[in-house]
Every structure is written in C-alpha cells, then in structure tokens.
Amino acid sequence: MLTEANILQGYEAARQMYAQMGVDTEKAMKACGRVPISVHCWQLDDCTGLEARSGALTGGIQTTGNYPGKARNFDEIKADYEKALSYIPGSKKLSIHAMYLDNHGKPVDRDQIEPEHFDGWIDFANELDVGLDFNPTFFSHEKSSSGYTLSSSDEAIRSFWVEHGKRCRKVAGYIAKRTGKPVMNNIWIPDGEKEFPIDTLSPRERLRESLDEILQEKYPGLTDSLESKLFGIGSECYVTGSHEFYMGYTVSHGNVYLTLDTGHFHPTETVSGKLSAILPFVPGVLLHVSRPERWDSDHVVAYNDELRRAALELVRFNRFDKIQVALDYFDASVNRVIALAVGARNMRKALLEAFLTPNATLRKMEEKGDTSARLAVQEECKVMPLGLVWNYYCLKNGVAPDMDWITDAQKYERKVLASRV
C-alpha cells in the first residue's frame, strides 16, 4: 500500500513534468472535478429493477453472467451504490430508471407511476448532495413484447407508453424541484424488428407523434434527451429510433438533447468522431459511455483509446453546458460494485488526462501551421505520469487511490455481498 508520503512524492515529480509542458496540474484537477459524471444504478442489479416482475430483461439488451452478491432490493441497491460512489472522485449524479420505483410492495404499472414513488431516491440523492437523472423504462414489460412501444400500430399499446413517457417527465420535474438540481430525462425505446418490415415509415411517423405528445409539458430544471440505436438483439434489421430519426427530431424540435451511446453505431464508427459534427446543430448531447465488444455488449468502460479520445474532444470543446456525461453498462459476470467503480473511475481518469493535455499549446502550434511539433507533443503526452496525478487527485478527494480501493471493495464483498443468496 502506498503511503501518503509516497503519493505526494510521486505527485511532485509529475507536477514538474506537466509544468514543463505548460500544464498546471492543480488547475487541471479542479476543472476535471467540476465535470459531473452521471453514474447509473442498473449495473448493480443487472437491470432488474424493483417492480418485482417475474419476467426477464427484454428490449434487445442483455446481461450475461451470474456473479454472486447482486443487490436484491432498494436498501441493497442504495448500500452498494453508496459504496461504489465512494470510489469515484469528482462531481457525480445518480441515474435511475422508472423500474426502480419504490412501490412499497404494491405493484404499480408503468402508466400509473407517481412522483412519490421516487421520494426514497430523492432523499438518498439529497443526503449525498448529488443530482438525480431519470430514464423512462420502455422494456421488460408485457406491453413491449410485440417489439413496439411508442411506435406501435396498436393504439392501446402506443397510448399506454405515451402515458408512461408523460408520467416519467412529471416524475423528473418533481425530482428537479425536490433536489434543486437539474435533471436529465433520457428516453430510449427498444422498438424494432428482427426482419425488415414492409412499412418502415409509419412506425417512425407514429414515434414522432408520440414524442410530440410526451414532450409537451414544460418542467423547470428538466432536460430531455433521445437515444438512438442501430440494432438490438431481436431487432437486427429495423430500429424505429435510429440515429437519423433522432438527429432529425432533435434538430427540428430545438429543445431536446441527442443521446449518443458509444455502443449504438457500426463497429468502425466512433462517437468521439461524431461529437463536433453534431454539436453545431443539436441543443445538446448526452453521452452514454459504454464499451461495445463485437456488438452493443455494454461491457464495463475500459481505459481505451476511444474513451480517451472522447474525453479529449469534450475538454477541447469546453462546452460542458451542452454535453453531459453518463455511464451505461451492465456486466453480471463480476463483482457489480467493482464493475461500476471501474468504469466510472476510468471515465474520470480519461477526463483528468484530457485536462492534463497541453491543449492550449497544441492549439497554438496548429494555428501556426506547426503540425510537426503538434504531432511530436501529442506523442509525448502518451507516456506522461498520469497515474501519479490520479492517485494524488484521489487522495485530495478523500477517495482510495488505485489498488487500495480494490482491497476495500473486496472487504465489502466478504462482509456484505457474500451473505446474499
């Protein structure tokens, strides 16, 4: 285990190296900590929710694995959440789904949810002094079993889900009011088909109408975002809410964000590459950070080139008023608290690395046309001592540095998770 003196010593050496590059590490850490990361609750229970449904996870998304110790109820989710959050430095928000309502043991259907079903979550967020983001749940429900919800040709089904969408926005507005903090309401629907439908247009026209209905009411502090997708398991040939559909919708609507999930595009497309092309047109972007492996597999976010590039883009735009960062992955094959913390720590680390990059110097080189120096400096950035600053950053934020937190999480597993059967 590193002592505080070790960490300080390492930091001092790193600070000088970054200073030589023209980077102020203190400023970088401060700026990094101000960027909120919305940490999702659904990694903690494999996207099961608290409705006590007997049905499986549907909608073309999937968790694989059966690692012991999964959170089984509201209290366990809160305990695990708090533990995972304690390993994540910097500004955070919670992110929950409608299916995580607190129904006090009495089944409440999706078209019946009320703001007070989320009082427990709001109290929890307020105790932690963090914001709370929301997501309507359009999957894992018998009324989505046809594969269609908001774009369904069955009016009873469509209006059921429109009601859900409206109620979720009411809940989200209530959360904004009770937390006094802005809320992001992210709408993702699973609608689509395994085979190519003959009529690809009508579902999209219906989706447009459904969204128009859902988004009518205005709630202070609430921002809505629409999440596109390329395909899902069982919706390989057609997805109503495609990227082009939501691009069109958000641009013409003028008041809703566009969600870009890193797993929702063709494998050679990158979200980092799309950001600057989209930003001039949409009101804002919600980034869903995940890790697709071969498909939209929702692996735990790794410290890879795509994550680093996305973080660099965000920091270089300096438009955090228009871009929000949220996590979205679910791996049931490992300790879920560790999984949640690994991905979130990686996101924060990538932001720290981006803030520690001599962006102003590089920009000047570019402006002068000195692309040789721009190339050389960018390459040297790759082996800068990020880990030394990171550990110091954790220490400063009262969070266990690398390695230490893993030992602590394993203790939690032995003490708390292991007793769950």
* Residues identified as active-site: 188, 227, 229, 261, 264, 288, 296, 298, 328
Q: Per rule CB under 6 A, is residue 229 in the interface with ligand RNT? A: yes
Choose between 193 and 328: whose C-beta lies nearer to Zn ion. Answer: 328
Rounded to 5 degrees, φ, ψ at 410 are -70, -35
288 contributes a contact to ligand RNT by CB under 6 A: yes
Which of the residues 296 through 335 are near Zn ion (CB under 5 A)? Answer: 328
288 near Zn ion, judged by CB under 5 A? yes
47 interface partner picked from ligand RNT, Zn ion, none, CB below 5 to 8 A per type: ligand RNT
Asked if residue 188 binds ligand RNT (CB under 6 A), the reply is yes
Residue 46 binds which entry of Zn ion, ligand RNT, none, with Cβ cut-offs from 5 to 8 Å by kind?
none
Give the pair of three-digit tokens for residue 311. Answer: 């973080």
Tell me: does residue 161 bind ligand RNT (CB under 6 A).
Answer: no
Q: Which of 133, 227, 306, 331 binds ligand RNT (CB under 6 A)?
A: 227
Residue 328 binding ligand RNT, by CB under 6 A:
yes
| CB-CB contact of 159 with 151 (8 Å) | no
Cβ at position 356, least distance to Zn ion in Å: 28
CB of 60 to ligand RNT, least distance (A): 7
Q: Collapsing DSSP states into helix, strand and coil, what is residue 64?
A: coil
Residue type, position 87, single letter: Y
Name the nearest CA neighbour of 393 among 33, 16, 6: 33
Is residue 158 involved in binding Zn ion (CB under 5 A)? no
Do residues 359 and 316 make contact, with C-beta atoms less than 8 angstroms apart?
A: yes
Cβ-count burial of 353 within 10 angstroms (0-12 exposed, 13-18 middle, 19+ buried)? buried
Phi/psi for 188 (5° steps) reads: -125, 130
* Residue 382: CB minimum distance to ligand RNT, A: 30
Q: Which is nearer to ligand RNT, 193 or 353 (CB)?
A: 193
Site string for ligand RNT, 240-279 (x = CB under 6 A): ---------------------x------------------
Beta carbon of residue 95, minimum distance to ligand RNT (angstroms, whole number): 9
Helix or strand holding residue 133 (H, E): strand 131-135
Q: Does 169 bind ligand RNT (CB under 6 A)?
A: no
Q: Are 323 and 314 in contact (CB under 8 A)?
A: yes
Q: Which of 191, 261, 313, 413 binds Zn ion (CB under 5 A)?
A: 261
Burial per residue of 374-405, b for 16 or more beta-carbon CB atoms within 10 angstroms, e otherwise = beebeeebeebbbebbbbbbbbeeebbbeebb
Structure token pair of residue 143: 């009324």
DSSP-derived letter for residue 235 is B
Question: In this complex, which beta carbon is closest to ligand RNT, that of residue 67 or of residue 295?
Answer: 295
The residues in 111-150 that bind ligand RNT, with binding defined as CB under 6 A, are 135
Q: Which of residues 22-51 bind ligand RNT (CB under 6 A)?
A: 42, 47
The residue at minimum Cβ distance from ligand RNT is 188
The sign one gets for the Cα dihedral 258, 262, 263, 266 is positive
Integer angstrom CA distances of residue 323 from 153, 182, 270, 288, 389 = 34, 14, 16, 11, 25
**Which of 400, 382, 387, 393 lies closest to 308 in space, CA to CA?**
382
> Number of residues in contact with ligand RNT, rule: CB under 6 A?
11
239's enclosing H/E stretch is: strand 238-239
Nearer to ligand RNT, 266 or 415 (CB): 266
**Contact residues for Zn ion (CB under 5 A)?**
261, 288, 328
**Contact residues for ligand RNT (CB under 6 A)?**
42, 47, 61, 135, 188, 227, 229, 261, 288, 296, 328
